[in-house]
Structure 1
């Protein structure tokens, strides 16, 4: 039996990708049911500087966050960052005009008023959850947010989903390279 931090270290030698290691780190350090702390993961890396995959582990730890609620959210976040889009904020709190709590979203680009919501299977089979999701989506729209809802089919083709996110007007403006100055 090994500690959660040691198990994470061992994953690097089993063929896990950096993305897999970010997913595992997020799961270990999540604010819900924490199994290890960032400090625990840093300490295991310091104790095993020659471990197989150490550079990949360090890179994965740089991307790990405590606010991710699912492996799908983590994978989407990592792919967005790798695609050169702005870094999304996980577990972003949306507030209304009077600064009252509206909802906590999966991922957001707050500066661009774009939200990403991953809808797992339970969102379709639970009538109350579905009604709640629809009301929430409508509230986001009323507040002027663009909300992209991502399900299993969209997740199955993450490249297409990243293109959709990149094509969202506010996100596209944020990730576009600066235009060249006019030639004289």
Structure 2
């Protein structure tokens, strides 16, 4: 993921420098272009057409803009804390980019974006929950403030991939209690390991396996066997399941049976993510590392 983020950032830098030279101005790059300059992998906002997005705080009528440059008027640029610099190129900060994208993204991709800005990998982490929430709550005249806050109610710091986020949100949509992400466990052989999605009080976890896991399937199987020996029940999820409703239903039914067998008595009440985000669902209390 680090290499992919680096390539995304390098490609964006080259493209933005080209547009800056063509327009003869030091623009503030925004939206999907800002994400790419920040090295954030966000497929939904990729500039597939090779263009760029720039922000202004007031209308510019006379300036010439090169073809492919999409100009946006955003009043927040007049305030401090909205602009940062990446390799000499100005762009909106991670917090400002999140707030502006709330105007154009659907709710679930917005939650996924928040997760993507707060990765566990220190080289991919761009912000924190506190900084995002502070930006959203303290800005005057911010559009979509309530949407941002509700997205942050569902977002989790220290995740590893957008597919893990998708899996967690699907569990919430189906009524599962809010899980702990990247729960730390002690592996007797490899030391500290992390479970993608866990219910520590029941010792039940869900691991997402991407394509790279096919190459390390044997090593993962050995690790899961050690967890099983420590009374952990771990369910493996694969990306292909999201293209098969029957397989997805069967998987979550298995997880539910595992939780029931471990003593969970909560009744599942399916609801939309917007309903889940209103703050009524409380996270489980923190549990010490096993």
TM-score, normalised by the number of residues in structure 1: 0.80
Computed over aligned residues only, the root mean square deviation of the Cα atoms, in angstroms, reads 2.5
| Displacement of 1:167 | 2.9
Q: What's 2:95 paired with?
A: 5
Q: What's 2:242 paired with?
A: 155
Q: Is the 8 A contact 1:93 1:102 kept in 2?
A: yes
Aligned partners of 1:156, 1:148: CA distance in 2, in Å?
Answer: 18
Q: Is the 8 A contact 1:12 1:57 kept in 2?
A: yes
| Displacement of 1:35 | 1.1
Q: What's 1:76 paired with?
A: 167
| Displacement of 1:16 | 1.9
Q: Is the 8 A contact 2:119 2:125 kept in 1?
A: yes
The change in CA–CA distance for 1:69 and 1:78 in structure 2 (over 3 A counts) is same
* Residue aligned with 2:120, SS: coil
Aligned partners of 1:14, 1:169: CA distance in 2, in Å?
Answer: 38
Q: Is the 8 A contact 1:114 1:170 kept in 2?
A: no
Larger CA deviation: 140-149 vs 80-89: 80-89
- Larger fraction in helix: 1
Q: Which runs of 5+ in 2 are unaligned?
A: 1-28, 30-91, 268-290
Q: What's 1:176 paired with?
A: 266
The 5-angstrom pairing of residues 1-184 of structure 1 reads 1=29, 2-17=92-107, 19-32=108-121, 33-48=124-139, 50-95=141-186, 101=191, 103-124=193-214, 126=215, 129-157=216-244, 160=249, 161-170=251-260, 173-177=263-267
Higher RCO, Cα 8 Å, sep 6+: 1
* Residue aligned with 1:43, SS: helix
1:115-167 deviation line (CA, Å, top 9, x unaligned): 1110000111x2xx222111111111111211100001223357514333223
How many residue pairs get aligned? The number is 171
Q: Which runs of 5+ in 1 are unaligned?
A: 178-184
Aligned partners of 2:155, 2:235: CA distance in 1, in Å?
Answer: 23
| Displacement of 1:169 | 4.3
* Residue aligned with 1:123, SS: helix
Name which one, 1 or 2, has greater alpha-carbon Rg.
Answer: 2
TM-score, normalised by the number of residues in structure 2: 0.53
The change in CA–CA distance for 1:173 and 1:154 in structure 2 (over 3 A counts) is farther
Larger CA deviation: 82-91 vs 42-51: 42-51
Larger CA deviation: 165-174 vs 19-28: 165-174
